[in-house]
Amino acid sequence: MKRFMTMLVIAGLILVLVALPFMTACAKPAPAPKLEPIVLKAVQADPLGHPLFVGWEWYVKTVNTRAEGELIIDVLGGTEIIPLADQADAVKDGIIDINCNYGSWVEKVVPAMGMWHLRRIPPDEMRKRGAYDLIQEEMNKVGIYWLGPTREMLDCAHWITVNKWVESPKDLAGLRIATFAGLAEWLEALGMIPLVMPPGERYSAIERGIADGGAHSLEGQFNFAYYELIDYWIDYGVFSSGEMMLVNLNRWNNLPEHLQKLLIDIQLELEGISGALALKSQDATKRGLRDGGMKPITFSSEDAEWYVSIGYEVKWQELFKKYPEWGPKVYELWALP
């Protein structure tokens, strides 16, 4: 009996040893736990789909695709989420993670950014001069990482539309223009009368004959259907694009290094194509104005140069007074050579 039991045990061990390789081969490994994506909550300075944000839209789409689910930029909306005046602070304070904003609205936290739109040199020259290093240093001091511009286009930000045909800039004198405070000095230098008012009141002012035209972005004037009321636009932009990306510094520092690199690399890629994207959008806007019945006005090359340059000149003079320390320093970094 004892011998019989011993043989049974041996037989059982043999069966286990024979079956073990098959059992191992058939067993499925436990699935790796699925990692939750890192989500960056984003807000932008204008409504979703705004033509000045085509570069930003390209950036978000490209990051979300190439991150392959590891990181997602979730654009919550625009000023209906956080008022424009509060967006830079919201990034600084960590209420949102990333923001596409205008430099002029970042000025309250980093004064130098109030001069960003006055640059007249390309990004590679800005880097050589140390402008980007200065911006990053000042942003970091207030808890922001500067990811860079989303729209790189010089002399394109603001345009004048009028209801009177003019042959030269001097013919603009006396015309009343619905606008915002940032353009008042330029318009006054042209002899025009700036009527500073909120965007939603400008169409009505033109319609009622209070204003003879408008001055702000060409895309904005198209979106407000100025072509229904105005006959001409002066076909020269003044000041440079202001759109840029801000990231909460703590959030940035806590991102894995390879995702930081991804965000930086895609921004550099955008920098190379953003001008073409912006020009395509601007051309579409001009076609829309033409289709609405408006016509462009051009000047002689000499008059055109003066018309544009006087805008920068008076704005620098204003900012030198406002920022006696920052004005001259920034002028050396990104004004004309």
Report residue 104 as tokens. 């002029």
Range name among 11-15, 42-46, 104-108 with the lowest pLDDT average: 11-15
Does residue 86 share a domain with residue 122?
yes
Q: Is the pLDDT of residue 22 over 50?
A: no
Confidence (pLDDT) at 34: 65
Decide if 168 contacts 234 (C-beta within 8 A): no
User: Do strands 232-234 and 176-179 pair parallel, antiparallel, or not at all (unpaired)?
Assistant: unpaired
pLDDT band for position 2 (50/70/90)?
Answer: very low
Does residue 316 share a domain with residue 201?
yes
Chain segment 77-123, per-residue pLDDT in tens: 999 999 999 999 999 999 999 999 999 999 999 999 999 999 999 99
Confidence (pLDDT) at 335: 85
Confidence (pLDDT) at 35: 77
Confidence (pLDDT) at 32: 53
Average pLDDT value for the chain: 90
Confidence (pLDDT) at 8: 41
Does residue 92 share a domain with residue 62?
yes
* Residue 218 located in a structural domain: yes
Does residue 128 share a domain with residue 166?
no
* Residue 6 located in a structural domain: no
E runs forming strands in 103-250: 144-149, 159-162, 176-179, 193-196, 213-216, 232-234, 243-248
Terminal-to-terminal C-alpha distance of the chain: 106
Decide if 178 contacts 215 (C-beta within 8 A): yes
Does residue 221 share a domain with residue 312?
yes
AA identity, residue 174: G
Confidence (pLDDT) at 109: 95
Confidence (pLDDT) at 31: 58
pLDDT band for position 214 (50/70/90)?
Answer: very high
Does residue 253 share a domain with residue 150?
yes
Annotate 212-259 with three-state secondary structure: CEEEECHHHHHHCCHHHCCCEEECCCECCCCEEEEEEHHHHHCCCHHH
Chain segment 243-302, per-residue pLDDT in tens: 999 999 999 999 999 999 999 999 999 999 988 998 899 999 999 999 999 999 999 999
Confidence (pLDDT) at 98: 98
Does residue 323 share a domain with residue 177?
yes
Does residue 59 share a domain with residue 95?
yes
Q: Round to whole Å and give the CA distance between 298 and 192.
A: 18
Does residue 101 share a domain with residue 227?
no
User: Do strands 243-248 and 98-102 pair parallel, antiparallel, or not at all (unpaired)?
Assistant: antiparallel
* Residue 213 located in a structural domain: yes
Q: Is the pLDDT of residue 40 over 90?
A: yes
Domain that holds residue 64: 38-154+241-282
E runs forming strands in 70-124: 71-77, 98-102
Does residue 328 share a domain with residue 182?
yes
Does residue 257 share a domain with residue 117?
yes
Range name among 6-15, 119-128, 236-245, 252-261 with the lowest pLDDT average: 6-15
- Return the H-helix or E-strand segment holding 39: strand 38-44
Domains held by the chain: number: 2
* Residue 313 located in a structural domain: yes
The CATH number of the domain holding residue 59 is 3.40.190.170
The residue with greater pLDDT, 153 or 305, is 305
Torsion of CA 265, 267, 268, 272, to 10 degrees: 140
- Return the H-helix or E-strand segment holding 263: helix 257-291
* Residue 82 located in a structural domain: yes
Q: Round to whole Å and give the CA distance between 115 and 129.
A: 16
pLDDT band for position 13 (50/70/90)?
Answer: very low
Q: How far is CA 2 from CA 6, 14, 15, 16, 292, in A?
A: 6, 19, 20, 22, 106
119 CB-near residues (< 8 Å, 6+ apart): 126, 131, 154, 240, 334, 335
Q: Is the pLDDT of residue 239 over 70?
A: yes
The residue with greater pLDDT, 31 or 152, is 152
Confidence (pLDDT) at 29: 59
Identify any residues that bridge with 176 across adjacent strands, giving them in sequence order: 193
Does residue 301 share a domain with residue 212?
yes
Identify any residues that bridge with 215 across adjacent strands, giving them in sequence order: 160
* Residue 85 located in a structural domain: yes
The residue with greater pLDDT, 1 or 237, is 237
